[in-house]
Structure 1
Amino acid sequence: MTLAEIARELKVSPSTVSRVLNGYSKNFGANPEMRARILEMVEKTGYRPNPVFRSIRAKKNRQIAFSFYSRSLRQNGETVDRALDEATRILEENGFTFHYLFHPRARVECYPVPEWKVAGMVIPDVIDPAMLRLIEEHRCPYVTLNGVCGEAGSAVMSDEPANIRMVMEYLYRLGHRRIAYLNSPPVMERHHSGIEREQGYLDFLNARRLPVIDGYGITPLPVAEQFELVRRQSATAIVTFQLEIAVEVLETAWRRGVKVPQELSVVTFDDSWHARHTIPPLTCCKIAANEMGKETARLIMAKVADPEAYKTEMFRFAGEVIERESTAPPPKA
């Protein structure tokens, strides 16, 4: 039931219902009986004020806009999904309301400013600060999650150089010296995670004078063909950019009769439910999504209170390696 419908039912104006619900008393009077009838009807119908309309009128705005480049939240991946769950939980506990906005052309043009007044914005997976031009011009406080920020914003990111280093060191300790890396799909090429994991892979091999297994770059090749390419180079371990690639690696290994982990170790990023239930269960680098969500909430609340706070600052969080049955020492020659 809407506010207008409640007003019609009680034969009063919508503004009277609104003022009673918001506790207004200045230059406004409603007898106790009418107040009681309005509040009783609101309780009975379960009516809740629209937070967007309320934010337009409010002097103290508590509305946070979450702005996405895709209409499909799955496109943002499990890291962002879990981080947003934590951030919204904390914001709600602190009296903030929020809504989601979807801008499929954000990566072609730029992220637009919300059409109504908001206290601040959280924007996941920004790949280029230029995409934030309008928001910066509007001086809207914002935090990017799992992406880069502009001059006025703050960024909360996974520490990908640390994460790939942990994975490589783990395999190195197991005895692997021929380690392949299967990179992100072309759509992720410009995201910081794809760039930094690939560079960290190369830096680790170069620092230890280990061979670089060809096939680590962005490629349109199917995973099965990438698998054959790195196996021809005697790779004993494969690190994949994301879970979907690791699942295809496991399937291809099974179809080719390659035993995991006896003949080939496989490691991926993010510790999702699916990673725990593949055959064999996958060793993963667990991304610090909860910590990223907590920091996102802390930062946007701080920037709402003081828009000058934490400008251009980047906050990174390293994950941890979760060892499972997809990894083992390399086979003996």
Structure 2
Amino acid sequence: MTLKEIAAELGVSPSTVSRVLNGRDKNFTVKPELRKRILDRVAERDYKPNPMYQSMRKKDNQQIAIFLPSYLEAALEADINAGVDAMNNSLFEKGFSFHYLVRPLEQRATYGLPQWKVAGAVAVDVRRSELVCELDESGLSYVVLNGVAGPNGSAVQADDAGNMECAMKYLYELGHRRIGYVNPYRDPKLIPIGFAEQHYSVIRRTASYFEFCLAYGLPVLESAKDCTVTVEDAVAEGVARGFTAYVAYSFEMYMEICHYLHARNLHIPRDVSVVTFNNPPLARFAAPPATCVEIPCKEMGVEAGRLLLERLERPGETEPQVRMLPGRLVIRDSAGPAIGKRQ
């Protein structure tokens, strides 16, 4: 139901309805009976004015710049987009509008703030430091969603160290004592960056994997140390060394691992178990359906919106924050007891 439709039902002009709803009918003759009819019809139709348009009329329009990476790079792809949508919904209700700024792969190191005035900014899935440095220097209130912020910004992240520990503990409790972690492969010719420049999730999951193996006295998959080994080669190393379980960085890599295990006539989960991060809709339709550590992307988006709104409403009064949200283990059919631990 729109304002124009309500006006048509009442036989009045849209401007008359608008003036009544916005309390600007004091100097504009509207009979009390008509005013009551308008308000009653609005309540009956459950009409809610567009907060962005209201903000524009009041001349206090608040615009948020949203910096997105190339979709080819997004660590969570559709999942992180759901987080962005959740964040936008929470801010939209407060009257904010948005400008999306997407950088293609070949311009990964070239950022630049918008030329027009914005109230704040959100940087999504940040991989490089140039944008964060520029945001810090600009004085803008900003939040990084699924990335690392600078000293003047807040950040909302997944608890990747805790999420890796969750996956490893689950496999360990199933009796697995040779568990490999498969990092994403980055062709150094196409993406010439070192391991320290990888996304924070890569760095923290890797560190947590090695810490868990050290604490529990488990052998490690050597190829997990960086991102220069293909999934096929990582699986080959694990098979040669008798590994009985793998943790995949992403669902796409889960599919690759399953492919290479099946090519070696290894059954999942009878011979080898596989757990992955992220829980996309297709995970339950995979063969076998994937056991996942689900990243709370929507909750991360809502929290990013809350942190940004807090800084916008109380500028100079709130300190930058880093919020890390834990994941959730979703158990399906891709992981089972290790051989010798089955009843």
Give the TM-score category using the shorter length: 0.7 to 0.9
If the length of structure 2 is used for normalisation, what is the TM-score? Answer: 0.77
Distance 2:97 2:226 in 1: 40
Q: Is the 8 A contact 2:247 2:275 kept in 1?
A: yes
CA shift at 1:309, angstroms? 4.7
Amino acid at match of 1:226: A
How big is each residue's C-alpha offset from its partner over 1:125-178, in whole Å with a ceiling of 9 and x where there is no partner?
123444322222221111000001112110000010110011111111111110
CA shift at 1:83, angstroms? 0.7
| Structure 1 segment 84-233 matched on structure 2, within 5 A | 84-104=84-104, 107-109=108-110, 111-186=111-186, 189=195, 190-233=198-241
Amino acid at match of 2:109: V
Distance 1:72 1:179 in 2: 29
How big is each residue's C-alpha offset from its partner over 1:272-313, in whole Å with a ceiling of 9 and x where there is no partner?
012111100010000011210110110111111123354332
Distance 2:269 2:317 in 1: 49
Distance 1:89 1:297 in 2: 9
Q: Is the 8 A contact 1:65 1:99 kept in 2?
A: yes
Match of 1:274 in 2: 282
CA shift at 1:255, angstroms? 1.8
| 2:261 is the alignment partner of 1:260 | no
Distance 2:340 2:99 in 1: 56
Match of 1:39 in 2: none
Distance 2:242 2:78 in 1: 32
Q: Is the 8 A contact 1:83 1:290 kept in 2?
A: yes
Unmatched tracts of structure 1, length 5 or more: 1-19, 33-48
How many residues align structurally?
A: 294
Distance 2:298 2:230 in 1: 33
Q: Is the 8 A contact 1:150 1:312 kept in 2?
A: no
Distance 1:146 1:208 in 2: 29
Amino acid at match of 1:108: A
Q: Is the 8 A contact 2:185 2:231 kept in 1?
A: no
The alignment yields a C-alpha RMSD, in angstroms, of 3.2
Moved more, 121-130 or 159-168: 121-130
SS in 1 for 2:173: helix
The structure-2 alpha-carbon separation of the partners of 1:234 and 1:76, relative to structure 1 and needing over 3 Å to count, comes to closer
The structure-2 alpha-carbon separation of the partners of 1:133 and 1:225, relative to structure 1 and needing over 3 Å to count, comes to closer
How big is each residue's C-alpha offset from its partner over 1:38-81, in whole Å with a ceiling of 9 and x where there is no partner?
xxxxxxxxxxx9x79x97x9752321111123266866623321
Q: Is the 8 A contact 1:107 1:131 kept in 2?
A: no
Distance 1:166 1:72 in 2: 28
Match of 1:248 in 2: 256
Match of 2:34 in 1: none
The structure-2 alpha-carbon separation of the partners of 1:220 and 1:72, relative to structure 1 and needing over 3 Å to count, comes to closer
Query: Quick one: percent identity of the two aligned structures?
Result: 33
How big is each residue's C-alpha offset from its partner over 1:252-274, in whole Å with a ceiling of 9 and x where there is no partner?
12221100000000000001012
Distance 2:169 2:180 in 1: 14
How big is each residue's C-alpha offset from its partner over 1:183-242, in whole Å with a ceiling of 9 and x where there is no partner?
122259411000000000000010111111222122444322221111111100000111
Q: Is the 8 A contact 1:215 1:230 kept in 2?
A: no
Q: Is the 8 A contact 1:180 1:216 kept in 2?
A: yes
Q: Is the 8 A contact 1:154 1:310 kept in 2?
A: no
Match of 2:312 in 1: 304
